[in-house]
Structure 1
Amino acid sequence: MDSALTSSQLLRWRLAIFAIFTASGLSIATWASRVPSIKADLGIENSDIGLLLLGMGIASILGLSAASVVIARFGTRRGMLGAMLVFAVGVALIGIGTNLAPSVVIVVIGLCLFGFGNGAVDVMMNVDGAAIEIQVGKTILPLFHAFFSFGTVIGAGFGALAAGIRLDVFTHTMIVAIAIVIVAVAAFANVPPREAAGDPASGDAEKPALRARIALALSAWREPRTYALGVVMLGMAFAEGGANDWLALGVSEDHGGGAALGAAALTVFSVAMTVVRVLGGPLVDRFGRVAVLRVLAVAAGAGILLFILAPNLPLVFVGAALWGVGASLGFPLGMSAAADDPAKAASRVSAAATIGYVAFLCGPPVLGFISDHIGLLNTLFILVALVLASGFASGAARPIAGSKVGAGHH
């Protein structure tokens, strides 16, 4: 079934997955951009926001972990539709709990649904993205991740506009939730059913037994390659998450640049990362996953070191750009490597993504705690060590026997 796709079907499938990546980024930036308004409307403190984030993070990890079972039971096509509807409801509940029926409890329920749905769809869209790579024989997962970045830019821009015109959170989140539902339904109509993704070949196809589904979901955790790929993704997830939360503060306070230059430096980081994600696929196809990952680990390490030690702000900005370039492809290429074998892609992507996202979600708060004791710039040396460890472990991303994507050609 999988090899019988026409060029038109393949194009619609790619566009559908691009849209899903964009919708995921849009939803996350919608929440992030309205945190100040939610805090003010509910009259809560920063510590309460921290607890909300913790609940969302835990739900995200549960969604990541459950995704492989969902795929084994329903397939990625129906799984992505269900997960997107779940996080659309979550986005809507965040707005309802902020303005329509003000309640921290409703917002917490919304964030848990939002986190769970987004975590689950993250695995599924990467599984489908990797399957498209196999179909076209080219590395394109970095480009899919660039569309996630585009979604965050759109979401942040719309959020800034909404806050600027004093659009209440309820109206804003309902608009976004409706957009997500439209994308989910349109994508479902254009993603082909595939046996390799667990989609049943017919309506009366025999469903796998619960024990078999759980065994499949857990199988990747018994494979050493999963943990090596986890190290690759962990180091780069720490680098990306650490930049998102601490780079602007490092420029504004530790380097004395002020808030505006801090935001500008974060923008430089984000643009550099997005550009490499857009252009990185052909580089990987030319030189191979392993070589690209090692070069980028060196770039990230050098960038962070320059950011820490630079004696002036222009060099700090150069460091931020190198940091963004280096951190750009570790996560998508780790996902691509985990999905080399279509039959085991769901469980392996789920396991590797869980390791990476635990680092992404939990790493920045840990860095914040450490920085209280040794200073922020000194704390960033930890990131240098982690990205170098990622580079050393990158041999695990070498394509498995029979897989051509990411092998490179000289």
Structure 2
Amino acid sequence: MGLMTSGWLARIPAVRDQLHLSTATLGALLLVGSVGALLTVLASGVLVQRIGSRRSLVLSTGVLGAGYALMGIGPGAGSAAVLAVGIFLNGVGVSLANMVFNLESARIERAIGRTVIPHFHAGFSVGAVAGSAGGALASRLGISVTAQLTAVAAVAVVWRLASVRGVVLDPAADELAAALRPVAATSGGRLRSALSAWTERRTVLIGVVVLAASLSEGSANTWLSLAVVDGFRTPESMGGVVLGLFVAAMTVVRLLGTRLIDRFGRVAVLRTSGLVSLVGLLAFGLA
């Protein structure tokens, strides 16, 4: 999934130029993906509870593949509407897949009794480094956005479907979800189950922290390559390289994250990472 995400983000300058989009219009199109992701987040807990992790992952793969292909076809066809549909579906697919991946990685962490979730996030980042490098190379070689994204979509769908069976830790978990469906379905049980966590103060505070982190990381992911191209008058390939450096830094921290958390604690690591992120944002913004 990281390969797909950064491969697309590295080519945003080319998409903007192909469709002759203003910054405001491009921002609105990218917002469509966030809307799709937000709507999916609100419903994903109920969906995974209803159909299980494995089926949810298969569903997300189909939606993500279709959306990614449309994101490549839109610029080639000169259609912002097709691009918008693709971005929306991509947001839906990524959000649902994230729900499953985080759920299963948490199960694995509990099963082995030590912090490993950052390693799974590092796997995403490794793919993202490869994706940004691939996007930069495609731009350098003059490969069109359409050719790059449709090819990556096809490979990614086959790859993900082939690996679905090994992603879910315990098949019995899906069987348990199936057994609980009738109970959860009574008297709006599914909805209450999904929303009950938000009555807990700590959940809300964690949500605020995640919101802040998502804003900073999301802004960099979405606008970094374009900011480098426009702000420093560099070719698109250089924007992809800088994006790759950003993602590579995240990869290193995620690989070291388990040791840092186990040694210094979650609160100290979270505070330090927030401060470092703020310094980085200010440094780039003032450059």
Class of the TM-score when normalised by the shorter of the 2 chains? 0.7 to 0.9
SS at match of 1:209: helix
In structure 2, the residue matched to 1:63 is: 40
Question: Is the CA contact (8 Å cut-off) linking 1:194 and 1:201 kept in structure 2?
Answer: no
One-letter amino acid matched to 2:269: V
Q: 2:21 aligns with which of 22, 44, 49?
A: 44
Paired with 2:56 and 2:12, the residues of 1 have a C-alpha distance of 29
In structure 2, the residue matched to 1:176 is: 152
SS at match of 2:132: helix
In structure 2, the residue matched to 1:185 is: 161
SS at match of 1:200: helix
1:220 aligns with 2:193: no
> How big is the alpha-carbon RMSD for the aligned residues of Structure 1 and Structure 2?
3.3
Larger RCO (alpha carbons 8 Å, 6+ apart):
2
Question: Is the CA contact (8 Å cut-off) linking 2:65 and 2:157 kept in structure 1?
Answer: yes
- Scaled by the length of structure 1, what TM-score is found? 0.60
Instruction: Note the alpha carbon deviations across 1:378-409, whole angstroms, 9 max, x for none.
Output: xxxxxxxxxxxxxxxxxxxxxxxxxxxxxxxx
CA, structure 1 residues 114+300, in 2 after alignment: closer, same or farther (shift >3 Å)?
closer
CA, structure 1 residues 239+112, in 2 after alignment: closer, same or farther (shift >3 Å)?
closer
Shift of 1:93: 1.4
Shift of 1:47: 2.9
Shift of 1:230: 1.6
After TM superposition, the structure 1 = structure 2 runs for residues 282-321 of structure 1, keeping only pairs within 5 Å, are 282-300=259-277, 303-304=279-280, 308=282
SS at match of 1:189: helix
After TM superposition, the structure 1 = structure 2 runs for residues 205-244 of structure 1, keeping only pairs within 5 Å, are 207=182, 208-209=184-185, 211-244=188-221
In structure 2, the residue matched to 1:164 is: 140
- Structure possessing the higher radius of gyration over alpha carbons: 1
Shift of 1:128: 0.9
CA, structure 1 residues 61+173, in 2 after alignment: closer, same or farther (shift >3 Å)?
same
Question: Is the CA contact (8 Å cut-off) linking 2:52 and 2:177 kept in structure 1?
Answer: no
Paired with 1:239 and 1:39, the residues of 2 have a C-alpha distance of 22
State the aligned residue count.
279
Instruction: Note the alpha carbon deviations across 1:203-243, whole angstroms, 9 max, x for none.
Output: 88854417221111211221111111123323333443455
Specify every segment of 5 or more residues in structure 1 that has no aligned partner in the other structure, as ranges: 1-22, 309-315, 321-375, 378-410
Specify every segment of 5 or more residues in structure 2 that has no aligned partner in the other structure, as ranges: none
One-letter amino acid matched to 2:190: R
In structure 2, the residue matched to 1:16 is: none
Question: Is the CA contact (8 Å cut-off) linking 1:248 and 1:259 kept in structure 2?
Answer: no
Identical positions, percent? 35
1:152 aligns with 2:128: yes
SS at match of 1:47: helix
One-letter amino acid matched to 2:263: R
SS at match of 2:175: coil
Question: Is the CA contact (8 Å cut-off) linking 1:64 and 1:122 kept in structure 2?
Answer: no
Shift of 1:125: 0.8
One-letter amino acid matched to 1:27: M
One-letter amino acid matched to 1:221: W
One-letter amino acid matched to 1:279: L
Question: Is the CA contact (8 Å cut-off) linking 1:52 and 1:108 kept in structure 2?
Answer: yes
Question: Is the CA contact (8 Å cut-off) linking 1:194 and 1:200 kept in structure 2?
Answer: no
Paired with 2:79 and 2:226, the residues of 1 have a C-alpha distance of 32
After TM superposition, the structure 1 = structure 2 runs for residues 9-408 of structure 1, keeping only pairs within 5 Å, are 23=1, 25-99=2-76, 101-192=77-168, 194=170, 197=173, 199-201=174-176, 207=182, 208-209=184-185, 211-244=188-221, 245=223, 258=232, 269-300=246-277, 303-304=279-280, 308=282, 377=286
Paired with 2:225 and 2:19, the residues of 1 have a C-alpha distance of 29
Question: Is the CA contact (8 Å cut-off) linking 2:60 and 2:93 kept in structure 1?
Answer: yes
Question: Is the CA contact (8 Å cut-off) linking 1:193 and 1:200 kept in structure 2?
Answer: no
In structure 2, the residue matched to 1:8 is: none
Shift of 1:134: 0.7
